[in-house]
Amino acid sequence: DAFVTAVSRAKDLNAFLVETPDHALAAAKQADEARAAGETLKPLAGVPIGMKDLFCTKGVTSTAASHILEGFTPTYESTVSQRLWDAGAGMLGKLNMDQFAMGSSNETSAFGNVISPWRRGGGDNAPLAPGGSSGGSSSAIAARLCPAATGTDTGGSIRQPAAFTGISGIKPTYGRCSRWGVIAFASSLDQAGPMARDVRDCAIMLEAMSGFDVKDSTSLDLAVPKWEAGLSSNLAGKRVGIPKEYRVDNMPAEIEALWQQGIDWLKDAGAEIVEVSLPHTKYALPAYYIIAPAEASSNLARYDGVRYGQRELPEGANLQDMYAATRAAGFGDEVKRRIMIGTYVLSAGFYDAYYTQAQKVRTLIAQDFEKAWGQCDLLLTPTAPSAAFALGEKSDDPIAMYLNDVFTVPSSLAGLPAMSVPGGLDAGGLPLGLQVIGKPLDEQGVLNAGL
């Protein structure tokens, strides 16, 4: 009975869209056989992980949590998931997420909200959002349904859900993980990365996931460092910058206190703390919410009812009618909003005013970080401006939802490695996250500071 109750409580979180226990079991059996034969075990031998539904998995439905891909079963495996299987891991299932990774609360999924195990609701308490877009991943790990999962991060979707659920997650340098087989949102920003209970597990996962791939022209042709072996909590000689522009107006006292706690921890570990300036920070969010939708509007043009998943063919419809009907029925509201914003900012009359301008801002933001690296090796900030909010609290107000990404978006625009680690609890007992941002390719520095 206890088992049945536990399973039903687990299912109530709605973290998994598809369950693939046979896949996980096969990996466990292989690990057992290798152990029995006295072979050296692979780094993730038999570890049952969750896979965000943005990754195409051969023979297993992959929908990006959208009706438009309902029933789509890839005939190929994404490079990142293949690398994880090669490292010995097995898949427990495909994890729920915001539709096409657009969102910060997991509420844009076409298959229902994910609930955070930190507060499931009941009585006067609305259930909490697990963050997004990798909310299935964060909820499943926080609820101990799996020890690790994949996430993707375009503007914060690994870090913010990690912060909301008291787990760790790292977005590596843009290009570390291949995007091949990862359903595209905004290609110049999308990066895969691991989410897990602690920094060491993230390092092990990231080592397996990273590496050059000829099938992704933006993948970096560099050897994958031994991040786990390189872990050290001694930060002597490291300078950690505190960007003053991140001290936003009306910052809640508990976020200030969290930040100060992080500063003290890093000092204790031997780091020197310096104040730095990233003057264009306040333009990052508006630039991101032009660039990401622009790229999305182009990437999502492929969902036309011909090649994948859903098709709506009304009586007497011609090809154009079929496209329109399929998209109207298949895409959710947030996805439609992004496509409309994206096509608007890319249209002939507005391209220079919005898209070109946003690209210039992106360069200025990258230059801000470049200059800061003259004064420090790492940056420390809060991950999000608040603890997790309740489901429904921001779902009718896209701007309020977008504001949640204020601390995560700048490092995405600059392609930098960035990690969220648990930083403590707020007054209400909910987890808060601290973010460490590093120089390009310095995942080791980020992981060590997170440790």
Q: Is 159 within 8 Å of 408 (Cβ atoms)?
A: yes
| Binds ligand GLN by CB under 6 A, chosen from 292, 358, 416, 418 | 292
Q: Does 332 bind ligand GLN (CB under 6 A)?
A: no
- Residue among 66, 116, 133, 219 flagged as catalytic: 133
What is the total count of residues that contact ligand GLN (CB under 6 A)?
Answer: 13
104 binds ligand GLN (CB under 6 A): yes
Name beta bridge partners: 380. Answer: 436
Instruction: Fill in the per-residue mask, 42 to 81: x = in contact with ligand GLN (CB under 6 A), - = not in contact.
Output: ----------------------------------------
* DSSP letter (8 states) at residue 134: S
Residue nearest to ligand GLN (CB): 157
The 3-state secondary structure of 21-79 reads HHHHHHHHHHHHHHHHCCCCCCCCCCCEEEEECCECECCECCCCCCHHHCCCCCCCCCH
Triad 134, 19, 50: Cα angle to 5°: 35
Interface with ligand GLN by CB under 6 A: which range of 69-77, 147-155, 349-357, 429-437? 147-155
Please indicate whether residue 134 is annotated as part of the active site.
no
Nearer to ligand GLN, 153 or 207 (CB): 153
Cβ-based neighbour number of residue 211 at 10 Å: 18
CA dihedral (310, 313, 314, 320) in degrees, to 10, reads 110
Residues in the chain: 451
Decide: is 153 part of the binding site for ligand GLN (CB under 6 A): yes
Member of 99, 133, 173, 381 binding ligand GLN (CB under 6 A): 133
Within a 10 A sphere around the Cβ of 2, how many other Cβ atoms? Answer: 6
Stretch that binds ligand GLN, among 35-43, 72-80, 155-163, 265-273 (CB under 6 A): 155-163
Is 155 an interacting residue with respect to ligand GLN (CB under 6 A)? yes
| Alpha-carbon distances, residue 315 vs 68, 326, 331, 443 (angstroms) | 20, 13, 21, 55
206 in Cβ contact with 172 (< 8 Å)? yes
Q: Which is nearer to ligand GLN, 62 or 133 (CB)?
A: 133
102 binds ligand GLN (CB under 6 A): yes
403, 434, 413: which is closest to 369 by C-alpha? Answer: 413
Q: In the 3-class helix/strand/coil scheme, how is 176-203 assigned residue by residue? A: CCCCCCECCCCCCCCEEEEEECCHHHHH
The residue annotated as part of the active site, out of 134, 139, 157, 412, is 157
User: Out of 157, 173, 383, 448, which residue is the one contacting ligand GLN (CB under 6 A)?
Assistant: 157
Catalytic annotation, pick one of 52, 94, 394, 439:
52
Residue 133 annotated as catalytic? yes
- 103 touches ligand GLN (CB under 6 A): yes
Does the annotation mark 81 as catalytic? no
Residue 156 or 172 having the CB closest to ligand GLN: 156
Rounded CA-CA distance 247/240 in Å is: 16
Which amino acids are annotated catalytic? 52, 133, 157
Which positions lie near ligand GLN, rule CB under 6 A? 101-104, 133, 153-157, 185, 292, 405
